[in-house]
């Protein structure tokens, strides 16, 4: 087995390698003067079971290209099996034609990864579950919910907690958390006027005097979560926390979180944290490295992966 990583999230790759007690393979990923990606695998991988760890987060295009070139380099080095380990799958929000004459970029990216030479994909909390079907190769979609559940149980929350979905589309995820915690469920009904902005319309469920746990897969600009937190407090919630799988946090999102009504925001390390994120007193990170380490080990041994989130 070989573990190889690009430049997108080397900290997570090193943590996964440490949990597996397998050193990262020597690999040089650099840029030419015109920013072309160049990859050199610096050890023998012929016939090996290779796992390429690379999130396609910001800068999304650069990190995606690194992933594709890494896979191609491994294929041309006669690797036995190549698994693309993508903790955060970028372009996942473009999973359908949202309006006339628009692309389905998630499918395009899936095709590119397959054509580059990947034999398998391992990812986490896809924005839409059906994206697994965009790949013509085996695809495992892990869930951060078990790790989130463990962290919630370690915290000293009030007894009357409630799982909350920040929109109707995330109800399945919030319901799963509510079932895991044996607690109630509420839904924030909102209307999005344009991308990156949202207006909270109503709260479905009684949140009076509750410790509300907002759960979602992606936080980008932070508008949805911050607006939801304000609306919940206006409806009588005692405090509002947020648990998000992928902390994209682009633009002024961190400033928005810091000045929001949220008590705290917890994200995973699927995306490498920026300096602003690490310095924020309201944002905390939990690691999904143990989960990915177990998943990779199970794939390598031909064992079940779904048992990790049952």
Per-residue pLDDT tens over the stretch 13-45:
999 999 999 999 999 999 999 999 999 999 999
Number of domains comprising the chain: 2
Q: Are residues 230 and 262 part of one domain?
A: yes
The CATH number of the domain holding residue 22 is 3.40.50.2020
The pLDDT assigned to 193 comes to: 60
Give the pLDDT mean for 254-274.
Answer: 95
What mean pLDDT do residues 129-136 have? 92
pLDDT score for 291: 96
CA gap 46, 34 in Å, rounded: 31
Residues 120 and 232 in one domain: no
Name, in order, each residue with C-beta under 8 angstroms of 27's C-beta and a sequence gap of 6 or more.
Answer: 4, 5, 39, 40, 41, 42, 70
Give just the sign of the alpha carbon dihedral 15, 16, 17, 18.
positive
Report the C-alpha gap between 211 and 237 in whole angstroms.
6
What integer pLDDT is reported at residue 200 of this predicted model? 61
pLDDT at 98 over 90: no
If asked whether residues 86 and 199 sit together in one domain, one would say no
Known catalytic residue at 190: yes
117 shares a domain with 36: yes
222 Rama class: left (phi>0) / alpha (psi -120 to 50) / beta: left
Domain match, 222 and 266 both: yes
Q: Are residues 134 and 96 in the same domain?
A: yes
Q: Are residues 87 and 187 in the same domain?
A: no
Query: What's the Rg (C-alpha) of the chain?
Result: 20
Q: Give the tens place of pLDDT for each residue, 209-263.
A: 999 999 999 999 998 899 899 999 999 999 999 999 999 999 999 999 999 999 9
**Contact at 8 Å (CB) between 42 and 23?**
no
Q: Give whole-number Cα distances, 22 to 1, 92, 210, 293, in Å.
A: 8, 30, 44, 10
pLDDT value of residue 228: 92
Residues 11 and 67 in one domain: yes
Residue-wise pLDDT for 61-73, tens only, equals 999 999 999 999 9
Residue 158 confidence class, pLDDT cut points 50, 70, 90: low
Please pick, among 97, 150, 154, 190, the residue that the annotation labels catalytic: 190
Asked whether the whole model's pTM tops 0.95, one would answer no
Task: Identify whether residues 128 and 158 lie together within a single domain.
Answer: no
135 and 157 share a domain?
no
Sign, CA dihedral 180-305-105-102, equals: negative
Q: Which residues pair with 139 in a beta bridge?
A: 121
149 shares its domain with 283:
yes
- 100 and 189 in a single domain? The answer is no
Question: Which residues constitute the domain of residue 90?
Answer: 2-142+290-309
Mean pLDDT of 152-163: 84
Between 151 and 169, whose confidence is greater?
151
């Amino acid at each position: 087995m070989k573990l190889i990583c690009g430049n997108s999230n080397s900290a997570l790759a090193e943590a996964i390698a440490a949990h597996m007690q397998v050193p990262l393979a020597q690999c040089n990923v650099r840029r030419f003067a015109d920013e072309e990606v160049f990859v050199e695998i610096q050890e023998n991988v012929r016939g090996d079971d290779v796992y390429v760890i690379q999130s396609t987060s910001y800068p999304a295009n650069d990190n995606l290209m690194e992933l594709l070139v890494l896979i191609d380099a491994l294929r041309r080095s006669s690797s036995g099996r190549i698994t693309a380990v993508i903790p955060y799958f970028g372009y996942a929000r473009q999973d359908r034609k949202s309006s006339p004459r628009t692309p389905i970029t998630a499918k395009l990216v899936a095709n590119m990864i397959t054509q580059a030479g990947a034999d398998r994909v391992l990812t986490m909390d896809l924005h839409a579950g059906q994206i697994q079907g965009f790949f013509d190769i085996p695809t495992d979609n892990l869930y951060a919910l078990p790790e989130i559940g463990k962290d919630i149980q370690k915290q000293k929350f009030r007894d009357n907690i409630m799982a909350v979905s920040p929109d109707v589309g995330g109800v399945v995820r919030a319901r799963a958390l509510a079932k895991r915690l044996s607690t109630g469920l509420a839904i924030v009904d909102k209307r999005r006027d344009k991308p990156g902005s949202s207006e909270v319309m109503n709260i479905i469920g009684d949140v009076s005097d509750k410790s509300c746990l907002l759960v979602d897969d992606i936080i980008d600009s932070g508008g949805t979560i911050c607006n939801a937190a304000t609306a919940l407090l206006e409806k009588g919630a005692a405090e509002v926390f947020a648990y998000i799988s992928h902390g994209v946090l682009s633009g002024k999102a961190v400033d928005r979180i810091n000045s929001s009504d949220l008590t705290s925001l917890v994200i995973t390390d699927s995306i490498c944290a920026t300096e602003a994120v690490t310095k924020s007193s309201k944002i905390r990170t939990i690691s999904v490295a143990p989960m990915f380490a177990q998943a990779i080990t199970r794939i390598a041994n031909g064992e079940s992966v779904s048992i990790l989130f049952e």
